[in-house]
Structure 1
Amino acid sequence: MKEKDDDAAPGGLTRRQLLGSSAALLVGASGAAKGLTFQGTPEWKPFDNVAVEPVDTDTAWQFFTDEEAATVEAIVERLIPADDLSMSGKEAGCAVFIDRQLAGAYGGYERLYMHGPFQDGTPEQGDQSALTPKQRYRLGLGALNDHCRNEHGAVFAELSEEQRDQLLAQLEQEEIQLDDIDTQLFFELVLTNTMEGFFADPIYGGNRDMVSWKMLGFPGARYDYRNYVERHNEDLGFEPVSIGGRPDWQTQG
Protein backbone atom coordinates (compact mmCIF):
# COMPACT_ATOMS: atom_id res chain seq x y z
CA MET A 1 0.00 0.00 0.00
CA LYS A 2 1.37 3.42 -0.99
CA GLU A 3 2.45 5.61 1.95
CA LYS A 4 0.35 8.77 2.27
CA ASP A 5 2.22 12.03 1.59
CA ASP A 6 2.41 14.83 4.16
CA ASP A 7 -0.23 17.53 3.95
CA ALA A 8 0.32 19.51 0.81
CA ALA A 9 1.56 23.09 1.26
CA PRO A 10 0.45 25.92 -1.05
CA GLY A 11 1.87 25.59 -4.56
CA GLY A 12 1.87 21.79 -4.57
CA LEU A 13 4.83 21.27 -2.21
CA THR A 14 4.47 18.79 0.62
CA ARG A 15 5.31 19.97 4.12
CA ARG A 16 8.43 17.75 4.07
CA GLN A 17 9.64 19.31 0.82
CA LEU A 18 8.99 22.84 2.09
CA LEU A 19 10.94 22.28 5.31
CA GLY A 20 13.79 20.68 3.40
CA SER A 21 14.11 23.56 0.95
CA SER A 22 13.98 26.11 3.80
CA ALA A 23 16.80 24.35 5.65
CA ALA A 24 18.92 24.37 2.50
CA LEU A 25 18.41 28.10 2.10
CA LEU A 26 19.49 28.75 5.70
CA VAL A 27 22.63 26.68 5.28
CA GLY A 28 23.48 28.52 2.08
CA ALA A 29 22.87 31.89 3.67
CA SER A 30 25.07 31.11 6.68
CA GLY A 31 27.83 29.92 4.37
CA ALA A 32 27.61 33.14 2.36
CA ALA A 33 27.75 35.26 5.51
CA LYS A 34 30.98 33.58 6.62
CA GLY A 35 32.56 34.57 3.32
CA LEU A 36 31.95 38.35 3.72
CA THR A 37 35.05 40.52 4.02
CA PHE A 38 35.54 44.25 4.60
CA GLN A 39 38.14 46.32 2.84
CA GLY A 40 39.64 48.84 5.24
CA THR A 41 37.77 50.32 8.19
CA PRO A 42 34.01 50.74 7.69
CA GLU A 43 33.02 54.42 7.76
CA TRP A 44 31.20 55.52 10.93
CA LYS A 45 28.98 58.56 11.17
CA PRO A 46 27.33 59.84 14.36
CA PHE A 47 23.67 58.76 14.56
CA ASP A 48 23.87 57.27 11.06
CA ASN A 49 20.83 55.05 11.71
CA VAL A 50 18.66 58.09 12.46
CA ALA A 51 20.45 60.61 10.30
CA VAL A 52 19.73 64.30 10.83
CA GLU A 53 20.57 66.70 8.04
CA PRO A 54 22.47 69.73 9.40
CA VAL A 55 20.84 73.03 8.48
CA ASP A 56 22.78 75.44 6.30
CA THR A 57 23.63 78.43 8.47
CA ASP A 58 25.73 80.27 5.88
CA THR A 59 23.04 81.07 3.31
CA ALA A 60 20.39 83.79 3.26
CA TRP A 61 17.18 83.65 5.24
CA GLN A 62 14.94 80.83 4.06
CA PHE A 63 11.62 82.12 5.41
CA PHE A 64 12.04 85.58 6.94
CA THR A 65 12.19 88.77 4.93
CA ASP A 66 15.09 91.04 5.82
CA GLU A 67 12.85 93.20 8.02
CA GLU A 68 11.34 90.16 9.75
CA ALA A 69 14.80 88.68 10.34
CA ALA A 70 16.06 91.94 11.86
CA THR A 71 13.00 92.02 14.13
CA VAL A 72 13.48 88.43 15.32
CA GLU A 73 17.18 89.00 15.93
CA ALA A 74 16.32 92.10 17.98
CA ILE A 75 13.77 90.08 19.97
CA VAL A 76 16.00 87.10 20.76
CA GLU A 77 18.84 89.47 21.70
CA ARG A 78 16.63 90.87 24.49
CA LEU A 79 15.02 87.58 25.53
CA ILE A 80 18.53 86.14 26.04
CA PRO A 81 20.88 89.11 26.50
CA ALA A 82 24.63 88.61 26.56
CA ASP A 83 26.18 88.41 30.03
CA ASP A 84 29.15 86.90 31.84
CA LEU A 85 27.76 83.39 31.33
CA SER A 86 27.03 83.32 27.62
CA MET A 87 26.59 85.19 24.38
CA SER A 88 23.19 86.62 23.43
CA GLY A 89 20.38 84.72 21.72
CA LYS A 90 21.18 86.57 18.50
CA GLU A 91 24.87 85.62 18.64
CA ALA A 92 23.93 82.02 19.48
CA GLY A 93 21.94 81.77 16.23
CA CYS A 94 18.42 81.58 17.68
CA ALA A 95 16.97 83.57 14.78
CA VAL A 96 18.63 81.24 12.29
CA PHE A 97 17.19 78.25 14.14
CA ILE A 98 13.67 79.75 14.03
CA ASP A 99 14.00 80.66 10.34
CA ARG A 100 15.05 77.13 9.35
CA GLN A 101 12.28 75.58 11.45
CA LEU A 102 9.66 77.79 9.83
CA ALA A 103 11.01 76.90 6.38
CA GLY A 104 10.60 73.20 7.21
CA ALA A 105 7.80 70.88 8.30
CA TYR A 106 7.27 72.72 11.59
CA GLY A 107 6.38 75.97 9.87
CA GLY A 108 3.28 74.50 8.26
CA TYR A 109 2.38 72.08 11.07
CA GLU A 110 2.73 69.33 8.46
CA ARG A 111 2.63 66.60 11.10
CA LEU A 112 -0.41 67.90 12.94
CA TYR A 113 -4.11 67.59 12.19
CA MET A 114 -5.06 71.03 10.88
CA HIS A 115 -8.65 70.70 9.70
CA GLY A 116 -11.64 72.39 11.34
CA PRO A 117 -13.74 73.06 13.16
CA PHE A 118 -11.61 75.50 15.14
CA GLN A 119 -12.82 76.91 18.44
CA ASP A 120 -11.33 78.25 21.64
CA GLY A 121 -10.26 75.57 24.10
CA THR A 122 -9.16 75.57 27.71
CA PRO A 123 -5.71 76.92 28.63
CA GLU A 124 -4.55 73.32 29.16
CA GLN A 125 -5.39 72.51 25.53
CA GLY A 126 -3.10 75.16 24.14
CA ASP A 127 -3.51 76.97 20.84
CA GLN A 128 -6.64 75.84 18.98
CA SER A 129 -6.53 78.31 16.08
CA ALA A 130 -6.14 77.57 12.39
CA LEU A 131 -2.89 79.56 12.21
CA THR A 132 0.36 77.71 11.51
CA PRO A 133 3.67 78.97 12.93
CA LYS A 134 4.52 80.49 9.53
CA GLN A 135 1.30 82.48 9.51
CA ARG A 136 1.62 83.48 13.15
CA TYR A 137 5.14 84.85 12.67
CA ARG A 138 4.23 86.69 9.47
CA LEU A 139 1.17 88.31 11.04
CA GLY A 140 2.77 88.92 14.42
CA LEU A 141 6.01 90.48 13.20
CA GLY A 142 4.17 92.70 10.74
CA ALA A 143 1.69 93.86 13.38
CA LEU A 144 4.48 94.46 15.91
CA ASN A 145 6.40 96.69 13.50
CA ASP A 146 3.22 98.55 12.55
CA HIS A 147 2.60 99.23 16.26
CA CYS A 148 6.19 100.43 16.72
CA ARG A 149 5.96 102.77 13.74
CA ASN A 150 2.73 104.25 15.02
CA GLU A 151 3.87 104.63 18.64
CA HIS A 152 7.62 105.20 18.31
CA GLY A 153 8.25 106.23 14.72
CA ALA A 154 10.57 103.29 14.02
CA VAL A 155 10.45 99.51 13.63
CA PHE A 156 11.22 97.24 16.59
CA ALA A 157 14.86 96.56 15.61
CA GLU A 158 15.63 100.30 15.56
CA LEU A 159 14.41 100.95 19.11
CA SER A 160 16.62 101.17 22.18
CA GLU A 161 17.16 98.16 24.42
CA GLU A 162 14.94 99.72 27.09
CA GLN A 163 12.12 100.29 24.60
CA ARG A 164 12.36 96.74 23.27
CA ASP A 165 12.30 95.30 26.81
CA GLN A 166 9.21 97.35 27.61
CA LEU A 167 7.40 96.24 24.45
CA LEU A 168 8.18 92.57 25.08
CA ALA A 169 6.87 92.88 28.63
CA GLN A 170 3.69 94.50 27.26
CA LEU A 171 3.26 91.65 24.77
CA GLU A 172 3.68 89.07 27.52
CA GLN A 173 1.09 90.77 29.72
CA GLU A 174 -1.29 91.54 26.81
CA GLU A 175 -1.06 95.24 27.57
CA ILE A 176 -0.96 95.98 23.85
CA GLN A 177 -3.02 94.34 21.13
CA LEU A 178 -1.70 93.31 17.72
CA ASP A 179 -3.99 93.11 14.71
CA ASP A 180 -5.27 89.70 13.56
CA ILE A 181 -3.35 87.69 16.15
CA ASP A 182 -3.46 86.75 19.83
CA THR A 183 -0.71 88.90 21.36
CA GLN A 184 0.15 86.61 24.28
CA LEU A 185 0.20 83.46 22.15
CA PHE A 186 2.52 85.18 19.71
CA PHE A 187 4.91 86.18 22.49
CA GLU A 188 4.85 82.68 23.99
CA LEU A 189 5.57 81.14 20.58
CA VAL A 190 8.61 83.35 19.98
CA LEU A 191 9.88 82.80 23.54
CA THR A 192 9.51 79.02 23.25
CA ASN A 193 11.25 78.90 19.87
CA THR A 194 14.04 81.13 21.18
CA MET A 195 14.71 78.78 24.09
CA GLU A 196 14.62 75.80 21.73
CA GLY A 197 17.18 77.46 19.49
CA PHE A 198 19.42 78.30 22.43
CA PHE A 199 19.41 74.83 24.00
CA ALA A 200 18.87 72.46 21.03
CA ASP A 201 21.63 70.58 19.28
CA PRO A 202 23.76 72.94 17.12
CA ILE A 203 22.98 70.79 14.09
CA TYR A 204 19.66 72.66 13.87
CA GLY A 205 21.26 76.10 13.52
CA GLY A 206 21.21 77.52 17.07
CA ASN A 207 23.30 76.96 20.21
CA ARG A 208 26.35 78.17 18.30
CA ASP A 209 29.59 76.56 19.48
CA MET A 210 27.42 74.63 21.99
CA VAL A 211 27.44 77.77 24.12
CA SER A 212 24.45 76.85 26.29
CA TRP A 213 25.70 73.30 26.86
CA LYS A 214 29.09 74.61 27.99
CA MET A 215 27.34 77.07 30.29
CA LEU A 216 25.27 74.28 31.89
CA GLY A 217 27.97 71.61 31.83
CA PHE A 218 25.78 69.39 29.64
CA PRO A 219 27.99 66.81 27.84
CA GLY A 220 25.71 66.54 24.81
CA ALA A 221 24.94 63.64 22.51
CA ARG A 222 27.50 61.14 23.78
CA TYR A 223 27.18 57.47 22.97
CA ASP A 224 27.00 55.93 26.44
CA TYR A 225 26.52 57.28 29.97
CA ARG A 226 26.17 53.97 31.82
CA ASN A 227 29.45 54.38 33.67
CA TYR A 228 28.41 57.79 34.99
CA VAL A 229 24.71 57.59 35.86
CA GLU A 230 25.42 57.03 39.57
CA ARG A 231 27.87 59.93 39.85
CA HIS A 232 25.52 62.67 41.01
CA ASN A 233 26.36 66.37 41.52
CA GLU A 234 29.80 65.88 40.06
CA ASP A 235 31.51 67.86 37.31
CA LEU A 236 32.85 65.22 34.96
CA GLY A 237 34.70 67.78 32.86
CA PHE A 238 33.33 66.47 29.57
CA GLU A 239 33.56 68.57 26.43
CA PRO A 240 30.06 68.67 24.89
CA VAL A 241 29.44 66.67 21.71
CA SER A 242 26.84 67.52 19.07
CA ILE A 243 24.95 64.97 17.00
CA GLY A 244 27.36 65.95 14.23
CA GLY A 245 30.44 65.65 16.44
CA ARG A 246 32.69 68.53 17.53
CA PRO A 247 34.26 71.19 15.30
CA ASP A 248 37.79 69.96 16.15
CA TRP A 249 36.89 66.49 14.83
CA GLN A 250 36.05 67.96 11.44
CA THR A 251 39.38 69.79 11.14
CA GLN A 252 41.50 66.68 11.74
CA GLY A 253 42.91 65.02 8.67
Structure 2
Amino acid sequence: MQNMSESPLTSRRGFLRKAVALVPAGALAGCNNGTPGATSSAQPGASAAAQPASAPRAEYKPRFFDAREWTFVQAAVDRLIPADAEGPGALEAGVPEFIDRQMDTPWAHGALWYMQGPFVQGVPELGYQLKLVPRDLYRLGIASVNAHCVKAHGHAFDALDAATRDSALADLEKGAIELADVPASVFFGQLLQNTREGYFCDPIHGGNRGMAAWTMIGFPGARADFMDFVNQNGQAYPYGPVSINGERT
Protein backbone atom coordinates (compact mmCIF):
# COMPACT_ATOMS: atom_id res chain seq x y z
CA MET A 1 0.00 0.00 0.00
CA GLN A 2 1.09 3.55 -0.60
CA ASN A 3 2.30 5.15 2.61
CA MET A 4 -0.66 6.86 4.27
CA SER A 5 1.37 10.00 4.81
CA GLU A 6 1.12 10.62 1.05
CA SER A 7 -2.43 11.92 1.06
CA PRO A 8 -4.41 12.39 -1.06
CA LEU A 9 -3.37 9.52 -3.33
CA THR A 10 -1.68 10.90 -6.43
CA SER A 11 -3.16 8.31 -8.77
CA ARG A 12 -6.18 6.75 -7.18
CA ARG A 13 -7.18 4.68 -10.18
CA GLY A 14 -3.66 3.29 -10.52
CA PHE A 15 -3.52 2.55 -6.80
CA LEU A 16 -6.82 0.69 -6.88
CA ARG A 17 -5.86 -1.27 -9.98
CA LYS A 18 -2.75 -2.46 -8.12
CA ALA A 19 -4.84 -3.16 -5.03
CA VAL A 20 -6.98 -5.60 -7.02
CA ALA A 21 -3.95 -7.84 -7.41
CA LEU A 22 -3.72 -8.06 -3.62
CA VAL A 23 -7.37 -9.08 -3.18
CA PRO A 24 -8.00 -12.83 -3.45
CA ALA A 25 -9.63 -13.59 -6.80
CA GLY A 26 -12.74 -15.00 -5.16
CA ALA A 27 -13.35 -11.72 -3.39
CA LEU A 28 -14.04 -10.00 -6.70
CA ALA A 29 -16.84 -12.17 -8.01
CA GLY A 30 -17.58 -13.73 -4.64
CA CYS A 31 -16.08 -13.28 -1.20
CA ASN A 32 -12.71 -14.60 -0.02
CA ASN A 33 -11.62 -13.38 3.38
CA GLY A 34 -7.96 -12.48 3.70
CA THR A 35 -6.71 -12.77 7.26
CA PRO A 36 -3.24 -14.34 7.19
CA GLY A 37 -3.18 -17.75 8.85
CA ALA A 38 0.00 -19.78 8.66
CA THR A 39 -1.00 -21.83 11.70
CA SER A 40 -4.54 -22.21 10.48
CA SER A 41 -6.44 -23.86 7.68
CA ALA A 42 -8.30 -20.62 6.99
CA GLN A 43 -10.87 -20.88 4.22
CA PRO A 44 -13.18 -18.30 2.67
CA GLY A 45 -16.04 -17.55 5.04
CA ALA A 46 -19.58 -17.79 3.76
CA SER A 47 -21.01 -14.31 3.53
CA ALA A 48 -23.73 -13.63 6.07
CA ALA A 49 -27.23 -12.83 4.90
CA ALA A 50 -26.39 -11.95 1.31
CA GLN A 51 -28.84 -9.44 -0.10
CA PRO A 52 -29.61 -8.62 -3.73
CA ALA A 53 -27.81 -5.42 -4.67
CA SER A 54 -30.98 -4.08 -6.27
CA ALA A 55 -33.04 -4.32 -3.07
CA PRO A 56 -34.06 -0.97 -1.54
CA ARG A 57 -31.46 0.09 0.99
CA ALA A 58 -32.52 1.26 4.40
CA GLU A 59 -29.79 2.69 6.61
CA TYR A 60 -27.61 -0.24 7.62
CA LYS A 61 -27.59 -1.14 11.32
CA PRO A 62 -24.40 -2.95 12.39
CA ARG A 63 -24.87 -6.31 14.07
CA PHE A 64 -21.37 -6.84 15.45
CA PHE A 65 -19.84 -3.40 15.99
CA ASP A 66 -21.12 -1.16 18.75
CA ALA A 67 -21.69 2.56 18.13
CA ARG A 68 -18.12 3.64 18.91
CA GLU A 69 -16.58 0.81 16.89
CA TRP A 70 -18.89 1.58 13.99
CA THR A 71 -17.82 5.22 13.82
CA PHE A 72 -14.17 4.08 13.88
CA VAL A 73 -14.67 1.66 10.98
CA GLN A 74 -16.42 4.32 8.91
CA ALA A 75 -13.75 6.94 9.65
CA ALA A 76 -10.88 4.53 8.92
CA VAL A 77 -12.10 3.08 5.63
CA ASP A 78 -12.98 6.59 4.47
CA ARG A 79 -9.29 7.50 4.68
CA LEU A 80 -8.03 4.22 3.21
CA ILE A 81 -10.14 4.67 0.06
CA PRO A 82 -11.49 8.21 -0.07
CA ALA A 83 -13.97 9.38 -2.69
CA ASP A 84 -12.74 11.56 -5.53
CA ALA A 85 -13.58 12.47 -9.11
CA GLU A 86 -12.53 9.04 -10.40
CA GLY A 87 -14.89 6.99 -8.27
CA PRO A 88 -16.68 6.42 -4.98
CA GLY A 89 -14.88 5.97 -1.70
CA ALA A 90 -15.16 3.08 0.71
CA LEU A 91 -18.09 4.70 2.50
CA GLU A 92 -20.11 5.16 -0.68
CA ALA A 93 -19.25 1.60 -1.72
CA GLY A 94 -20.65 0.11 1.49
CA VAL A 95 -17.36 -1.21 2.85
CA PRO A 96 -18.35 -0.78 6.54
CA GLU A 97 -21.45 -2.91 5.93
CA PHE A 98 -19.32 -5.57 4.24
CA ILE A 99 -16.92 -5.73 7.19
CA ASP A 100 -19.70 -5.87 9.75
CA ARG A 101 -21.48 -8.68 7.91
CA GLN A 102 -18.25 -10.64 7.67
CA MET A 103 -18.03 -10.68 11.46
CA ASP A 104 -20.91 -13.18 11.49
CA THR A 105 -19.11 -15.71 9.29
CA PRO A 106 -17.16 -18.82 10.38
CA TRP A 107 -14.02 -17.05 9.16
CA ALA A 108 -14.43 -14.20 11.65
CA HIS A 109 -14.99 -16.68 14.49
CA GLY A 110 -11.87 -18.64 13.52
CA ALA A 111 -14.09 -21.71 13.18
CA LEU A 112 -12.08 -23.10 10.27
CA TRP A 113 -8.66 -22.40 11.77
CA TYR A 114 -6.32 -24.47 13.86
CA MET A 115 -6.40 -22.48 17.11
CA GLN A 116 -4.41 -24.59 19.57
CA GLY A 117 -1.24 -23.30 21.21
CA PRO A 118 1.53 -22.53 21.55
CA PHE A 119 1.05 -19.00 20.23
CA VAL A 120 4.51 -17.59 19.58
CA GLN A 121 5.07 -14.87 17.03
CA GLY A 122 7.84 -16.11 14.77
CA VAL A 123 9.51 -14.77 11.67
CA PRO A 124 7.22 -13.12 9.11
CA GLU A 125 7.58 -16.06 6.74
CA LEU A 126 5.53 -18.17 9.15
CA GLY A 127 2.53 -15.88 8.75
CA TYR A 128 -0.15 -15.14 11.31
CA GLN A 129 0.57 -16.77 14.69
CA LEU A 130 -1.69 -14.97 17.16
CA LYS A 131 -4.52 -16.49 19.18
CA LEU A 132 -6.89 -13.70 18.15
CA VAL A 133 -9.59 -14.40 15.58
CA PRO A 134 -10.76 -11.54 13.32
CA ARG A 135 -13.59 -10.54 15.66
CA ASP A 136 -11.04 -10.16 18.46
CA LEU A 137 -8.63 -8.23 16.23
CA TYR A 138 -11.31 -5.67 15.47
CA ARG A 139 -12.74 -5.37 18.97
CA LEU A 140 -9.39 -5.08 20.73
CA GLY A 141 -7.70 -3.17 17.94
CA ILE A 142 -10.33 -0.45 17.69
CA ALA A 143 -10.37 0.08 21.45
CA SER A 144 -6.57 0.28 21.55
CA VAL A 145 -6.33 2.72 18.63
CA ASN A 146 -8.97 4.97 20.15
CA ALA A 147 -7.15 4.91 23.49
CA HIS A 148 -3.89 5.85 21.76
CA CYS A 149 -5.56 8.71 19.85
CA VAL A 150 -7.17 10.09 23.00
CA LYS A 151 -3.80 10.05 24.77
CA ALA A 152 -1.85 11.48 21.82
CA HIS A 153 -4.40 13.87 20.33
CA GLY A 154 -7.14 14.35 22.91
CA HIS A 155 -9.86 12.71 20.82
CA ALA A 156 -10.92 9.28 19.57
CA PHE A 157 -9.88 8.39 16.02
CA ASP A 158 -13.15 9.35 14.32
CA ALA A 159 -13.07 12.84 15.88
CA LEU A 160 -9.64 13.67 14.42
CA ASP A 161 -9.22 15.73 11.26
CA ALA A 162 -8.36 13.92 8.03
CA ALA A 163 -4.64 14.69 8.14
CA THR A 164 -4.28 13.40 11.70
CA ARG A 165 -6.24 10.26 10.87
CA ASP A 166 -3.91 9.67 7.93
CA SER A 167 -0.91 10.10 10.20
CA ALA A 168 -2.34 7.64 12.73
CA LEU A 169 -3.01 5.07 10.01
CA ALA A 170 0.53 5.50 8.67
CA ASP A 171 1.92 4.83 12.16
CA LEU A 172 -0.27 1.74 12.46
CA GLU A 173 0.95 0.48 9.10
CA LYS A 174 4.60 0.92 10.14
CA GLY A 175 4.02 -0.58 13.59
CA ALA A 176 5.18 2.70 15.13
CA ILE A 177 2.30 2.72 17.62
CA GLU A 178 2.40 0.44 20.66
CA LEU A 179 -1.13 -0.89 21.12
CA ALA A 180 -2.16 -2.60 24.33
CA ASP A 181 -3.80 -5.76 23.00
CA VAL A 182 -2.81 -6.35 19.37
CA PRO A 183 0.22 -5.58 17.18
CA ALA A 184 -0.47 -2.33 15.34
CA SER A 185 0.67 -3.54 11.92
CA VAL A 186 -1.40 -6.73 12.23
CA PHE A 187 -4.54 -4.75 12.98
CA PHE A 188 -3.84 -2.32 10.15
CA GLY A 189 -3.20 -5.18 7.72
CA GLN A 190 -6.52 -6.81 8.60
CA LEU A 191 -8.41 -3.54 8.23
CA LEU A 192 -6.78 -2.72 4.90
CA GLN A 193 -7.36 -6.21 3.50
CA ASN A 194 -11.04 -6.20 4.44
CA THR A 195 -11.45 -2.68 3.05
CA ARG A 196 -10.07 -3.83 -0.29
CA GLU A 197 -12.30 -6.89 -0.26
CA GLY A 198 -15.39 -4.85 0.56
CA TYR A 199 -14.60 -2.34 -2.15
CA PHE A 200 -14.18 -4.96 -4.88
CA CYS A 201 -16.53 -7.75 -3.75
CA ASP A 202 -19.76 -8.75 -5.45
CA PRO A 203 -22.52 -6.40 -4.23
CA ILE A 204 -24.49 -9.26 -2.66
CA HIS A 205 -21.97 -9.13 0.20
CA GLY A 206 -22.71 -5.52 1.10
CA GLY A 207 -19.85 -3.70 -0.60
CA ASN A 208 -19.13 -2.42 -4.11
CA ARG A 209 -22.57 -0.83 -4.35
CA GLY A 210 -23.78 -0.46 -7.89
CA MET A 211 -20.60 -2.27 -9.01
CA ALA A 212 -18.98 1.17 -9.18
CA ALA A 213 -15.53 -0.20 -8.30
CA TRP A 214 -15.74 -2.84 -11.02
CA THR A 215 -16.87 -0.23 -13.53
CA MET A 216 -14.01 2.07 -12.58
CA ILE A 217 -11.32 -0.57 -13.23
CA GLY A 218 -13.06 -2.32 -16.13
CA PHE A 219 -13.71 -5.63 -14.36
CA PRO A 220 -16.47 -7.71 -16.06
CA GLY A 221 -17.77 -9.22 -12.84
CA ALA A 222 -19.50 -12.58 -12.73
CA ARG A 223 -20.11 -12.93 -16.46
CA ALA A 224 -20.19 -16.55 -17.60
CA ASP A 225 -17.88 -15.94 -20.55
CA PHE A 226 -15.60 -13.08 -21.55
CA MET A 227 -12.82 -15.12 -23.16
CA ASP A 228 -12.98 -13.08 -26.37
CA PHE A 229 -11.39 -10.21 -24.45
CA VAL A 230 -8.74 -12.08 -22.44
CA ASN A 231 -5.84 -11.38 -24.81
CA GLN A 232 -6.90 -7.91 -25.94
CA ASN A 233 -4.43 -6.13 -23.72
CA GLY A 234 -5.32 -2.54 -22.98
CA GLN A 235 -8.70 -2.65 -24.71
CA ALA A 236 -11.58 -1.53 -22.53
CA TYR A 237 -14.24 -4.15 -21.84
CA PRO A 238 -17.33 -2.73 -23.56
CA TYR A 239 -20.27 -4.38 -21.82
CA GLY A 240 -19.98 -3.44 -18.16
CA PRO A 241 -19.97 -5.76 -15.14
CA VAL A 242 -22.62 -8.23 -13.99
CA SER A 243 -23.16 -9.29 -10.37
CA ILE A 244 -23.78 -12.81 -9.13
CA ASN A 245 -27.50 -12.10 -8.87
CA GLY A 246 -27.64 -10.84 -12.46
CA GLU A 247 -27.65 -7.11 -11.81
CA ARG A 248 -26.04 -5.07 -14.58
CA THR A 249 -24.69 -1.56 -14.63
TM-score range for the pair, normalised by the shorter chain length: 0.7 to 0.9
Distance (whole Å) between structure 2 residues aligned to residue 247 and residue 63 of structure 1: 30
Deviation digits for residues 63-113 of structure 1, max 9, x if unmatched?
100110110110000000111111111111111111111122121121111
Matched residues in 2 for 1:138 and 1:127: separation? 18
Distance between the aligned counterparts of 1:157 and 1:180, measured in 2? 20
Q: Does 1:80 align with 2:76?
A: no
User: Matched residues in 2 for 1:162 and 1:232: separation?
Assistant: 38
Aligned mates of 1:137, 1:147 — CA distance in 2: 15
Matched residues in 2 for 1:148 and 1:212: separation?
Answer: 31
Query: Where does the alignment leave 5 or more consecutive residues of structure 2 unmatched?
Result: 1-29, 31-45
The answer on whether the counterparts of 1:198 and 1:212 sit within 8 Å (CA) in structure 2 is yes
**What are structure 1's unaligned runs of at least 5 residues?**
1-46, 249-253
- Secondary structure of the 1:121 match is coil
2:50 paired residue number: 54
Q: Distance in 2 between matches of 1:197 and 1:125?
A: 26
Equivalent positions of 1:13-28 (< 5 A) are: none
How many Å apart are 1:170 and its aligned residue? 0.9
Equivalence for 2:146: 145
Cα distance between partner residues in 2 of 1:80 and 1:70: 16
Q: Is the 8 A contact 1:139 1:181 kept in 2?
A: yes
Partner residue in 2 for 1:172? 173
**Residue 134 of structure 1 corresponds to which residue in structure 2?**
135
For the aligned residue pairs, the C-alpha RMSD in angstroms reads 2.0
> Contact 2:140 / 2:182 at 8 angstroms: preserved in 1?
yes
Amino acid corresponding to residue 79 of structure 1 in structure 2: L
2:179 partner letter? L
Name the aligned partner's letter for residue 137 of structure 2.
Answer: R
Name the counterpart of 1:114: 115
Matched letter for residue 220 of structure 2: P
Deviations 1:211-251 (A, max 9, x none): 11011011110011233334332223112101112167xxx
Structure number with greater CO (CA < 8 Å, separation at least 6) is: 2
- Separation in 2 of the partners of 1:62 and 1:151? 30
- Structure with greater helix percent: 1
Stretch deviating more after TM superposition (155-164 or 58-67): 58-67
Contact in 1 for aligned 2:137/2:182 (Cα 8 Å): yes
The answer (yes or no) to whether the contact 2:242–2:248 under 8 Å persists in 1 is no
Q: Identify the residue that residue 190 of structure 1 maps to in structure 2.
A: 191
Q: Distance in 2 between matches of 1:170 and 1:55?
A: 36
Task: Please tell me whether the aligned partners of residues 202 and 211 of structure 2 are also in contact (alpha carbons under 8 angstroms).
Answer: yes
Count matched residues: 199
Radius of gyration: which is bigger? Answer: 1
Deviation at residue 122 of structure 1 after TM alignment: 2.1
Aligned to 2:217: 216
Cα shift readout 1:162-211 (whole Å, capped 9, x = no counterpart): 11001001111122111011111111110111111111111111111111
The 1:96–1:176 alpha-carbon spacing in structure 2 relative to 1, beyond 3 Å, is same
Structure 2 counterparts to residues 69-108 of structure 1, below 5 A:
69-108=70-109
Moved more, 83-92 or 65-74: 83-92
Q: 1:55 deviation in Å?
A: 4.3
Match of 1:31 in 2: none
Distance 2:245 2:215 in 1: 16
Match of 1:10 in 2: none
> What is the letter of the counterpart of residue 223 of structure 2?
R
Amino acid at match of 2:243: S
Distance 1:229 1:187 in 2: 34
- Going from structure 1 to structure 2, the CA distance change for 1:61 and 1:230 (only over 3 Å counts) comes to same
* 1:209 partner letter: G
- Work out whether residues 55 and 100 of structure 1, in 8 Å CA contact, stay in contact via their aligned partners in 2: no
Supply the distance in 2 between the matched residues of 1:187 and 1:55 (Cα, whole angstroms).
Answer: 28
